[in-house]
Chain A
Amino acid sequence: MNPHRRAPLVRLAAVLVYIFLYAPIVGLILYSFNASRTNVTFEGFITAFSSSVQMDGSLVTASPCGPFHWYCDLAKNNDVMGAAGNTLTIAITATIISTIIGTMAAIALQRYDFKMKPFSQLALYVPIVIPEIVMGIGVLTLFSQLFTWLNTTLDLTGSARLSLGIATVTISHIAFMIPFVTLVVQARLQGFDKSYEEAAMDLGANEWTTFRRVTLPMILPGVLSGGLLAFTLSLDDFVITFFTSGPGSTTLPIYVYGLLRRIITPQVNALSTVWILVVFLAVLALQVLQNRESKDRA
């Protein structure tokens, strides 16, 4: 019997589920080339390549960018660019910090014994079992109470007053990113024998040299994929950011959410398409990393 023989019914179901997964995304991308300004109906593609822009009523008949009219519009939109900048600033900062301290924790939990260990291990599972909204309003309450108290006791006024912003979003992101980094690196460390490190120590290397020359090269793929996972989670986060951001720290998901409650133009679709493309490349990179890692082990 062929082990890979599948019932045709299973194949059909799989195809239908894939269609269900991709139809909305394909639709979204198609509409980013919509000639209609309101994006309510699809009025055909923006086709004419012309240097003069004629706009009759609600239709974009020609654009210097050709069919990529909405993409050009997007690049000129300062709000979008500002939100993209915030999103990247937060994600990069939070990824660096969470990857470093998350990896340290993974090494501690996997290679050392200490009193606090059960508590640290337990704390890592908290974000998995509680709904994100509970975490979101929790940190919001923490920051607002803390800031109210500090602002009154230190008598801070004007621009010195502490308020929600990029810093509070970044700090909160790090909190939910750490467990993912730690769990991924821990899994990687589990696969490696302690004896490599012990051999290095026996040969006279100190802790730091052992870490730099033996442990780090072994776990590096794990650290990178943990970091990349954390980075994507930060770029993607809506709920935690929603509760911890202030007026000047809008990220892309928050910006899009705001748009959905007002008027929607195909610009949102153009933004989504660019975003999906970036995600596609990130997932591809992650996949390549993981494939290399599994080859390493084999």
Chain B
Amino acid sequence: MLKRLRENKSAQGTLLALPTTLWLFVLLIIPLFLTLIVSFGKRSPDGNVIFTFTLDNYIRLIGFSSDCAAGQATCFDPLYLQILWRSLTLAFNTTVLVILLAYPLAYFIARAEPKKRSTYLFMVLIPLWTNFVIRVYAWMMLLRKEGAINIIIGTVAHWLGFNFVPFEMLYTPGAVLVGMVYEFLPFMILPIYTSLEKIDNSLYEAAADLGANAVRTFTKVTLPLSMPGVVAGTILVFIPVMGTFIVSDILGGKQVILVGNLIQRQFLDARDPTFGSAASLILMALTLIVTYFYTRKFGFGEEIVAA
């Protein structure tokens, strides 16, 4: 038996990969199928799942109530569609802002002297690895009425002779946007840096020799060659922003409800796992569709592994 295994390379490979494959199968693939099955189920009065086949949860998500007579005008309630739309637009806005902030820094690091590069990169890694919850808390302290931002604006206004009344910045859509941008910025800097760093210096020299100015060099050389990094970064930012619930929970209070909050509540407070499962499958479908079309358009680089 052992001797046969020693000669059979294919069996050796299977055995080596078996624990990982099994683990991922049981804890990733099976749960996904289970979520699908549960999403077609019904909630029992005590908040458990009754396994059956009904599309009620999905119908509820697109705004219709299942126990509602056809043609009734008050039946349609776009609440959940609004939540989905809010999450999509927030993810889109966050991604755009993050690209605008990350690009100059990534460019700066990539064009720095090689010796300084690792220090600059290290400075990006520290905020990245600081705990997500702690970083939300930091913004909570900055944004509140008595927080540092209000104090700084107040001081500057005082110097200039203006009267400034501190106001609550917390629990607004803006606070959630700032928090999201802050949380996910490093995930964009790293892949863009990786693709910028690969660009050969001779390309810049060639562009200069051929008479291209700085703007033309950027639009014709730098930007196209760094697109794989931007694409990888977009995936690393867009997908998690769509599903995060802590930022909106802490910085948005009850004012900003996203898909993540909706799902979380179904599994905790509201206790309707069937509806939560349907919502999370819609979330997954949305992110997969966006990712698919986006990567098909712009290609999919190895930069994603770099981060």
Q: Give the contacting residue for B21; candidates A6, A119, A207, A236; CB below 8 A.
A: A119
A142 partner residues in chain B, CB cutoff 8 A: 26-27, 30-31, 34
Asked whether any CB of chain B lies closer than 8 Å to the CB of A243, the reply is yes
Chain B residues near A119 (CB, 8 Å)? 21
Known A120-B21, A133-B283; judge A114-B38 contact (CB<8 A). no
Q: Which of A33-65 contact B (CB under 8 A)?
A: 39-41
* A287-B122 Cα distance, complex, nearest whole Å: 8
A24 in contact with B182 (CB, 8 Å): yes
The reply to whether A182 and B139 contact each other, CB–CB distance below 8 Å, is no
- 15 A-B pairs, CB-CB below 8 angstroms? A6-B111, A27-B148, A28-B137, A104-B19, A108-B15, A109-B17, A112-B12, A127-B28, A141-B35, A148-B48, A178-B20, A232-B129, A260-B133, A279-B131, A291-B118
Quick check: is A246 within 8 A (CB to CB) of the other chain? no
B229 nearest CB across to chain A (Å): 16
Is there a chain B Cβ closer than 8 Å to A219's Cβ? no
Partner of A275, one of B9, B30, B127, B131: B131
Interface residues of B in 125-158 (CB under 8 A from A): 125-127, 129-142, 144, 146, 148
The reply to whether B127 and A283 form a contact with Cβ atoms under 8 Å apart is no
Query: Total A-B pairs in contact (CB under 8 Å)?
Result: 273
| Shortest Cβ gap from B142 to chain A (Å) | 6
Contacts of B281 in A (CB 8 A): 134
**Complexed CA–CA distance, A137 and B284 (Å):** 12
Query: Chain A contact residues (Cβ within 8 angstroms of B): what range?
Result: 35 or more
List, in ascending order, chain A residues with CB within 8 A of B104's CB.
10, 13-14, 17
Of A7, A13, A138, A232, the residue contacting B214 (CB under 8 A) is A7
- Inside 8 A of A117's CB, which chain B residues have their CB? 13, 17
B16 touches A236 (CB 8 A): no
Cβ-defined contact, A133 with B264, below 8 A:
yes
In contact, B29 and A123 (Cβ under 8 angstroms): yes
List, in ascending order, chain A residues with CB within 8 A of B214's CB: 7
- In the complex, whether B204 has a CB less than 8 A from a CB of chain A is yes
Residue of B nearest to A29 (CB): B138
> With A109-B17, A131-B287, A238-B246 known to touch, is A253 a contact of B133 (CB < 8 Å)?
yes
Residues of chain A from 94 to 128 with CB closer than 8 A to chain B in the complex: 101-102, 104-105, 107-109, 111-117, 119-120, 123-124, 126-128
With A40-B146, A171-B27, A260-B250: A131-B133 Cβ-Cβ less than 8 Å: no
Q: Given A1-B205, A104-B20, A260-B250, do A10 and B107 touch, yes or no (CB 8 Å)?
A: yes
Interface set, chain B 262-289, CB cutoff 8 A to A: 263-264, 267, 273, 276-277, 280-281, 283-284, 287-288
Contact A24 B139, beta carbon cutoff 8 Å: yes
Given contacts A28-B141, A133-B243, A207-B6, contact A116 B21 (CB under 8 A): yes
| Residue A297 lies at the interface, judged by CB distance under 8 Å to chain B | no
Interface pair A137/B277, CB less than 8 Å apart? yes
B4 to chain A, nearest CB (A): 14
Q: How far is the CB of B46 from chain A (nearest CB, A)?
A: 12
Q: A223: CB under 8 A from chain B? A: no
Question: Is A105 within 8 A of B101, CB to CB?
Answer: no
Q: Collect the chain B residues with CB atoms within 8 Å of residue A203's CB.
A: none
Instruction: List A contacts of B113 (CB < 8 A).
Output: 4
Chain B CB count within 10 A is highest, among A39, A116, A120, for A120
Point out the residues of chain B lying under 8 angstroms from A247, CB to CB.
none
Known A131-B243, A287-B118; contact A137-B131, beta-carbon cutoff 8 A: no
Give A142 to B205 CA distance when docked, in angstroms: 58
Partner of B27 from the list A25, A175, A206 (CB cut-off 8 Å) is A175
